[in-house]
Structures are given as structure tokens and as C-alpha cells.
Amino acid sequence: MKKLNKYLPYIVLVVLFIWHSVLYAQQQRFPRPEFESGYTFPTHQFLNQRGPMWEFMDVAVLIGALLVTSWLALKKRSRQGLIWMSVFSLAYFGFYREGCICAIGSVQNMSMALFNDSYAMPLPALLFFTIPLLFALFSGRVFCAGVCPLGAIQELTGFRKVRVPQSVERVLAVIPFVYLGLAVLFAATESQFLICRYDPFVGIFRIDAPYTMIIFGSLLLITGIFVNRPYCRYLCPYGVLQNIFSRFSIRHLTISPAECRNCRLCETGCPYDAILQADPATYVEKPAEPKKKSLVYLIAIPVLAAGFALVLYNLAPSLSVVNNNVKLAREIRLEKEQGIKAVSKGAIAFFESGRTEEQLFEKEQQVIARFRKGAPWVGIFLGLSFGIGFFRLTVRNIRTIYEPDRGRCYSCGKCYKFCPVKINN
């Protein structure tokens, strides 16, 4: 007995060793052969992508293109030049860089980096996000005019000009705000990169895409022949930011090179209805009535914000379905409670992985909690945007000249040719 006690540690050690080698052998079912012919393992060469230097090259091209476009739109006033700029951007950012890296998508990287500690934003993405906005503050939406490849492809295919009724335009212009809000929320919760997933033209840039993307992109392009720039106007989430920033721009494209003479020739010149018309000389404002109205709308702004926050807070659990974990948890719960077999690849992988249901449901609750936290802010953003939008309808100054609406004007320069005023240098 004493002897056994003495040897027990060694026996245990031997058993453990054998057990370990059994485990090892299981992992390595067929032992590595001992070659006699002097064979050596080939080393697999993994190829790298193009270096990070090139990404900063993209940033340099972006800045250069923005500078040239600003000069063309504001100073040179050359529509032809802007068209060439669009061709260049489409060729470089579109077909050569295949639509990535783009400012529109960088909104999501920013959101993800802000709200997740595990993710650091790549510097080029940050620059692609901020530089066009800075340019919007200085010279309006020049990024949309000739640098954005998505804008460029639509600019170059907008042959006809069908004007959309203002009521329809205003309602459709709401979509980008919702799109932006949701995209930021989904990226912040690490659920989806909505904008990249539904990028309509990246398939055309790569000449390779799922058929749904091709159909969506082609439909948009065909629509764009008549209703110009449909993506920019009714979908683009980055356009929302450009719109807001451009309203406060220091300088902006003007329709007339010198003084506007109110000749009304440019009235129908803009395909986006972004020309604000001068008031007729007989226009008289009745001050009392609008003042009361605008006060009501001013009070409505916080009410709307609170209302939207409440709605979005309650929508949060339904929105969280875009997260894969929540989707999987729902499927598993459905199987448990109603006996509907979970057959998706995700469910099969989940059963194989050995994660417990408790872990999954806990993860689901975490994701829903994050959505609950973030969704009200999206609601506040939407409420404020719509509230201010309504309020702006009630206040306006008497306009004495024809000028572009700084928010909605893409600085495309189509209006230049309608202005009869010419300056001789």
C-alpha cells in the first residue's frame, strides 16, 4: 500500500502521458511520414494585397479631385470640365478602385469605430469620411458633382430631364434620412453594413455581382436617364450629411457669373428642382399669420423628436433581427417552443460548435439591449430633421435673385448655360 502511494504520482503521470498521446494521435490521424528520398515540404507562398501606400494615394487623388472640381464649379464655371471630372472619377474610384473605398460607406466605419472598442477605424476611411464634408463647408457639394463615382455614373447617364412634382420629391427625400439612421444603428451594433450591401453600382464597377444587385443597379440607371440621379436624391445616406453641411458653406456655385437679372431663363434648367426662384415683384408677405404657424412648428420640433425616439425605442427588438445572433436565437427558440426544425446553415453550425442555448440567448439579449440604447437616438435624429424641415417651410425671406438651394444643389453646373449674363475677362 505504501509502495503504491509512492508510485501513484508516476502512474498518474504515465497514464496522463498515454492519454495525451492518444489525443494527439486522434488529432493527427495519419502521422507525418518520414521521407527517405530527401523530400522537403514545399512552402506555400501567400500573396499580399497592394500595399497601404496605395490607400494614401487614393486619399491624395480624392483631395486633388475635390480641389479641381471646386475650381471648375465655382471659378471656371465649366460644365464640360465637370463632365470630364465625372469621367475621371468614374474611371478611377469606380472602375479602377472598383467602388471601394468610398465616402458613402465610410459612414458605417465611423459609427462602428465610435461605438465598438474592438474595432479601429482605418485612417484612409476616416479621411474619406471627413475631407468631402470639409469641402462641403467651403464650397458646397462638389464631392457629389464630380468626385463620387456613384454620382458620376448617374451624372453621365442622365440624358433626359423629367421633373418630379415637388410633393413627391419632398416625400421621397425623407428616405435617405431613415436610411442613414438605420445604417449607423446597424453598424454601431455590429449587425450589418447596410449601405455596402445595397450599393447599387458596385456590381457595375466590378462587372460582377449577384443578379439582384445587377437588376437594382440597372433599374436605377434606367430611371436615372429620365429622373436624374435617383440614388443621390432618394437614397444616398452620405448625401444627407453633404446636404446639411453644404447649407452652411462659405462659398457656393452660383447660377449667374455676375448679378442675377431675374430673367427667369434658368427657372426650368435644373433637373433636381434645386433652383430657388426669386419672388415676383408683387409678392407681399402677411406677417401675422405665418408667425403663429411657425411658432407652432417650432414647438413641434422637440415633440417630433420625442415621438420618433419613442417609436424607434419600441421598434428596436424588431430591428435587431438584422443581427445574425438574434436571427439564430429566434430560430432556435422557435424549434424549442413550437417544434419547427431549425435547418439553416447557421443553426447547423451552432449545434456543431457546442455553444449552449443559454449563451446564445444571453448574446441575443445583449444585442437587443444595444439596439434599445441606440434606436432612440436615431429617432431623435429623424425627429429633429423632419421637425426642422417642417419648420423651415414656414419661415422664408423674400428672395430677390435666382439661386441654387445650397442643400440640394449638386453643383453639377447644368444651369450655367441658361444664364444669359456673361462676363468678359
How many residues bind another protein (CB under 8 A)? The answer is 75
| Contact in structure between 415 and 275 (CB atoms under 8 Å) | yes
Quick one: which segment of 10-18, 280-288, 333-341, 359-367 binds another protein (CB under 8 A)? Answer: 280-288
Residue 353 Cβ vs another protein, minimum distance, rounded to whole Å? 6
Q: Which of 397, 422, 423, 425 binds another protein (CB under 8 A)?
A: 397
Closest CB to another protein among 225 and 244? 244
- Within its chain, how far is the Cα of 53 from the centroid? 25
Closest CB to another protein among 1 and 284? 284
Tell me: does residue 281 bind another protein (CB under 8 A). Answer: yes
* Contact set for another protein, span 306-365 (CB under 8 A): 324, 344-350, 352-353
Q: Which of 98, 169, 273, 335 binds another protein (CB under 8 A)?
A: 98
Sign of the dihedral defined by the CA atoms of residues 396, 401, 402, 404, in that order: negative
Residue 130 Cβ vs another protein, minimum distance, rounded to whole Å? 6
Q: Which of 74, 82, 110, 266 binds another protein (CB under 8 A)?
A: 110
Which amino acid belongs to residue 63?
A: I
Residue 403: burial class (beta carbons within 10 Å; 0-12, 13-18, 19+): buried
* Contact set for another protein, span 121-140 (CB under 8 A): 121-126, 129-130, 133-134, 137
Q: Which of 1, 3, 9, 35 binds another protein (CB under 8 A)?
A: 35
Closest CB to another protein among 7 and 96? 96
CA distances from 245 to 60, 86, 123, 272, 407 (A): 22, 22, 22, 18, 8
Residue 326 Cβ vs another protein, minimum distance, rounded to whole Å? 14
Instruction: Please report the DSSP string for 38-58 in residue order.
Output: ---PPPP-PPP-S-HHHHHHH
* Contact set for another protein, span 41-60 (CB under 8 A): 41-44, 46-49, 52, 55
* Contact set for another protein, span 6-25 (CB under 8 A): 23-24
List, in order, residues 6 or more apart from 318 with CB less than 8 Å away: none
To which residue does cell 433637373 refer?
Answer: 271
Helical ranges in 140-284 per DSSP H: 142-146, 149-157, 166-172, 175-188, 194-197, 202-206, 211-226, 230-234, 237-246
